[in-house]
Amino acid sequence: MARTAAILSALARALRRDQKSIASVVGNNFFVVTVLLLQEAGAFLYLILGLILLFPLSTDPLRKIPASRLSLWPLERRERWMLRAASPWVNPMTWLIAGGAVWVARGKVTAGLWGLCGGLIAACFVLSALPIAPRGGLWRRMPHFPGPLNHLIRKNLRGMLSTLDFYLALLLSVAALAYRASGRNLPAEALLPMTLLVVVALSSYAQCLFGLDGESGLERYRLLPVSGWQVLLAKDAAFLTLAVFLVLPLEPLAGFGAALVALAVGHYATVSHQREQVRWRFSAGAPLVEGLAQCALIAMAGSLVSHSVWVIGACVAAWAGSVWWYGRRWDGEAVS
């Protein structure tokens, strides 16, 4: 017990040092937007969304201890389980979200549902401790791209495919495709919102494009004889490849325009903050206000392109200008 308490105390100290400001309270655009759109949907939905939000928001504190060190410590099985169960609670965000969930769902959610949610959380934290590294066949079979940035784009594709954002967007896209394939017509007024939801599901990743590169990857970027705009171009090419693929069954052009704007806005947070991300989680992007601004502009761009194809030119111009501007900032910040 004393050993577990000592480790938890050290974890809490490390976590306190890591949460520098209110800006660390970040979220995932898709869940924030869904909560705003589904105000009448009921407490259970809030509860689920709140709990799912917990993962990108808090990340697993136990990850702060290197796995090799943790396995070397003379802890008994019981102590390891205690550590596993108690460690999320050293993060103040866990208390905040759990408290919020209880308050929202007071008296409306049955004990069984609470148990289900608790089980889901526990499963996610246990899963997060498993070493999942991209080694399989799919990761090797990335398409090749022309030019010197080929391997950087392929690497970025692999990175995006190891976030849950992609799979959430894929789920929406496949659902729309299946509906249309069944012979029924998706109402015209549903196509655009679905397209925008797909792009919004990916948009938090656009705010943390370097999140999976780690310190080592960032150092390599700075050593390569390439300009900042080329580094961002390689990131964006991967993002756009997947975004366009996912909006194909919906409104591809509106989706493309919205994805360009998601990147154009996301470059600011990408270059300025460089938030580290965890694989097989939802991306935790910029603070709430920035995230909402990004979503509003995505919706605006998608709608305008849907009404007039020529607006795509403005989206391309905004994106190109953003790549150039933040590429210069990247170059400047590389030597500081």
Partner 1 sequence: MITCRNLTRRFGEFTAVDGLSFHVEPGAICAFLGPNGAGKSTTVKMLTGLLAPTAGEVEVCGLDPRSKPIELKRRIGVLPEDLGLFDDLTVEEHLELTASVYGVDKRQAKDRIAQLLRVLSLEHGRRTFASACSHGMRKKTSFAMALLPNPSVLFLDEPFEAIDPVTSKTMRDLLQSAARHGITVFLTSHILPVAEEIATQLIMLRKGRIVWNSPASELPQALEQHYFDLVESPVVEEMEWLGQPRS
Residues at the interface with partner 1 (CB under 8 A): 133-135, 139-140, 147-152, 154-156, 158-159, 162, 212-217, 219-220, 222-227, 331, 334-336
3-state secondary structure of 26: strand
Residue 329 token pair: 């900032």
Contacts of 20 (CB under 8 A, 6+ apart): none
CB of 155 to partner 1, least distance (A): 4
Rounded Cα distance, 176 and 186, in Å: 8
CB of 216 to partner 1, least distance (A): 5
3-state secondary structure of 58: helix
Residue whose CB is less far from partner 1, 194 or 238? 238
Residue 235 token pair: 């990131």
CB of 292 to partner 1, least distance (A): 30
Residue 75 token pair: 């802890």
Q: What is the DSSP string of 75-123?
A: --HHHHHHHHHHGGGGSHHHHHHHHHHHHHHTTTS-HHHHHHHHHHHHH
CB of 225 to partner 1, least distance (A): 4
Question: Which is it for the CA torsion 319, 246, 251, 31, positive or negative?
Answer: negative
* Continuous segment of H or E residues that includes residue 182: none
Residue whose CB is less far from partner 1, 58 or 277? 277
Nearest to 279 by CA among 161, 163, 135: 163
Residue whose CB is less far from partner 1, 17 or 184? 17
Residue whose CB is less far from partner 1, 99 or 214? 214
Residue whose CB is less far from partner 1, 139 or 245? 139
CB of 227 to partner 1, least distance (A): 7
CB of 147 to partner 1, least distance (A): 8
Residue 59 token pair: 């990340």
Residue whose CB is less far from partner 1, 6 or 190? 6
